[in-house]
């Protein structure tokens, strides 16, 4: 059912208790724990903070192969706090107590390795096959900052659910059926930021124009949000990128800024994120009974923390952070790389195949 190109798309009404509302600012711009939301009013005050976040993300290097004892101790402390989901696999399975798994997967940095060119963040055939196999017995959703169409182009699996634009563009089955092979005709769209579409298009054009002269800067239109990539920008120009984004956003008081992996993300000022998207999907797919369903969310980025937090607060299911370095996180478990994510998914498949 979840083909993002489904022709008969209808926009769903907001559930009354999940109405997105405007927010101002949440979290400190330099906090790695919470997603950084920067309201327009605050942006001028925090451009330096923004630069701090940009700089901070550049200093997070993967551990050196020849780790010294300090690194090993830090690594052990990290794994004690956020154990490997592979080492803890038996424990995770044991805690399921016969429940069904609902799987939520981030895309970039989780299913595909981080690469310099966002257009080339391809998923390996082996990873695609792992996701396809796991989706045969776990309802599986991709929750990405990318536009829904673009992430579908990468993943190419019709049997999954897709939430693009950080959860602001969700395709769900009309009936709310748990089936993962529904007909396209039953699909409906949930787009809580639909009214922002013209504004996002306008800010995208302004950002493309304003960053044109900065070598390496890349603006990506993700439909309900816009990514300004600075991964390929010389570090000396990062302040310029922050200033330009600040300047452009001056004209858009209803847009806010979040930060990701060498990317600044412009999005509508509504209280909606990947965590809300996970809650919405669980409800829509009738998978929100914690006695029956155990949700697992795997992601690598700050924006995934909202989803980890929701699972932690519900005291049901597990957030799994993909990271090679210790991080402040709301996740319960960790995996180091997309390869380990694949190993985890394959372990789930093997376990299911061996289950009576």
Ligand X SMILES: O=P(O)(O)OC[C@H]1O[C@H](O[C@H]2O[C@H](CO)[C@@H](O)[C@H](O)[C@H]2O)[C@H](O)[C@@H](O)[C@@H]1O
109 binds ligand X (CB under 6 A): yes
By CB under 6 A, which span of 23-31, 103-111, 190-198, 287-295 interacts with ligand X? 103-111
Q: What are phi and psi of 222, to 5 degrees?
A: -105, 30
Pairs from 177-185 (Cβ < 8 Å, separation ≥ 24): 177/285, 177/286, 178/139, 178/285, 178/286, 178/287, 179/1, 180/1, 180/2, 180/135, 180/139, 180/140, 181/1, 182/1, 182/2, 183/1, 184/1, 184/3, 184/6, 184/7, 184/8, 185/6, 185/8
220 binds ligand X (CB under 6 A): yes
E strand intervals along 269-323 = 293-299, 318-322
**Binding status of residue 222 toward ligand X by CB under 6 A:** yes
Measured from the CB of residue 291, what is the shortest distance to ligand X in angstroms? 30
User: Binding to ligand X by residue 114, rule CB under 6 A?
Assistant: yes
Q: Note whether 169 binds ligand X by CB under 6 A.
A: no
- Contact region with ligand X (CB under 6 A), list: 67-75, 110-118, 196-204, 327-335: 110-118
Q: Are 267 and 258 in contact (CB under 8 A)?
A: yes
305 binds ligand X (CB under 6 A): no
**76-90 burial by CB neighbour count: b if 16+ within 10 A, else e?**
eebeeebebbbebbe
Alpha-carbon distance of 188 to 177, in angstroms, equals 12
- Kindly state whether residue 140 participates in binding ligand X, applying the rule CB under 6 A: no
Quick one: 146 or 256, whose CB is closer to ligand X? 146
Site string for ligand X, 263-302 (x = CB under 6 A): x-x-----------------------------------x-
- Name the minimum Å distance from CB 96 to ligand X: 26
User: And the tokens for 214?
Assistant: 């900065």
Torsion of CA 246, 251, 255, 257, to 10 degrees: 0
Among 11, 44, 77, 115, binds ligand X (CB under 6 A): 115
Give the integer Cα–Cα distance in Å for 301 and 273: 13
Task: State in angstroms the smallest separation of the CB of 290 from ligand X.
Answer: 25
Contacts of ligand X in 144-163 (CB under 6 A): 144-146
260 or 317: whose CB is closer to ligand X?
260
Question: Contacts with ligand X in 4-63 (CB under 6 A)?
Answer: none
Longest dimension (CA), the chain: 61
Q: Minimal CA–CA distance to 351: which of 90, 48, 52, 64?
A: 90
Are 12 and 172 within 8 A, CB to CB? yes
Binding test (CB under 6 A) with ligand X, winner from 29, 106, 152, 170: 106
Question: Which window, 113-121, 153-161, 183-191, 318-326, contacts ligand X (CB under 6 A)?
Answer: 113-121
Q: How far is the CB of 146 from ligand X (least distance, A)?
A: 5
Of 20-28, 84-92, 257-265, 314-322, which segment contacts ligand X by CB under 6 A?
257-265
- Which of 26, 261, 314, 336 touches ligand X by CB under 6 A? 261
260: contact with ligand X by CB under 6 A: yes
In the complex, least distance from residue 3 CB atom to ligand X, rounded to whole angstroms = 19
Q: How far apart are CA 338 and CA 350, in angstroms?
A: 18
Minimal CB distance to ligand X: which residue?
145
Report in angstroms how near the CB of residue 149 gets to ligand X at its nearest. 13
108's CB contacts (< 8 A; 6+ apart) are 114, 118, 121, 144, 145, 146, 261, 300, 301
Site of interaction with ligand X (CB under 6 A): 106-109, 114-116, 118, 121, 144-146, 220, 222, 227, 229, 231, 260-263, 265, 301, 303
């Amino acid at each position: 059912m979840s083909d993002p190109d489904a022709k008969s798309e209808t926009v769903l009404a907001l559930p009354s208790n999940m109405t997105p509302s405007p927010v101002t600012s949440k979290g400190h711009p330099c906090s790695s724990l919470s997603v950084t939301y920067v309201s327009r009013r605050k942006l001028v005050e925090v451009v330096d903070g923004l630069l701090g976040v940009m700089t901070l993300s550049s200093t997070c290097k993967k551990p050196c192969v020849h780790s010294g004892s300090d690194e090993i101790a830090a690594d052990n402390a990290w794994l004690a706090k956020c154990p490997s989901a592979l080492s803890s696999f038996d424990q995770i399975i044991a805690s399921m107590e016969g429940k069904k798994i609902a799987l939520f997967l981030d895309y970039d940095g989780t299913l595909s390795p981080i690469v310099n060119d966002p257009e080339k963040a391809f998923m390996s055939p082996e990873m695609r096959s792992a996701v396809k196999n796991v989706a045969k017995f776990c309802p599986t959703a991709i929750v990405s900052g990318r536009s829904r169409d673009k992430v579908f182009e990468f993943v190419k699996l019709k049997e999954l659910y897709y939430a693009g634009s950080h959860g602001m563009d969700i395709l769900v089955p009309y009936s709310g059926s748990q089936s993962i092979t529904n007909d396209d005709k039953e699909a409906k769209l949930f787009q809580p930021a639909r009214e922002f579409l013209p504004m996002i298009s306008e800010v995208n054009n302004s950002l493309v124009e304003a960053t044109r002269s900065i070598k390496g800067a890349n603006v990506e239109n993700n439909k309900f949000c816009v990514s300004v990539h600075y991964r390929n920008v010389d570090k000396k120009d990062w302040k310029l990128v922050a200033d330009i984004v600040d300047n452009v956003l001056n004209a858009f008081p209803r847009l806010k800024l979040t930060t990701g992996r060498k990317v600044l993300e412009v999005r509508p000022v509504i209280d909606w994120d990947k965590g809300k998207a996970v809650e919405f999907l669980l409800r829509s797919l009738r998978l929100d009974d914690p006695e029956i369903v155990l949700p697992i969310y795997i992601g690598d980025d700050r924006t995934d923390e909202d989803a980890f937090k929701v699972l932690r607060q519900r005291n049901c299911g597990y957030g799994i952070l993909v990271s090679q370095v210790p991080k402040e996180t709301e996740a319960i478990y960790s995996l180091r790389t997309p390869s380990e994510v694949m190993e985890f998914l394959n372990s789930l498949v093997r376990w299911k195949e061996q289950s009576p």
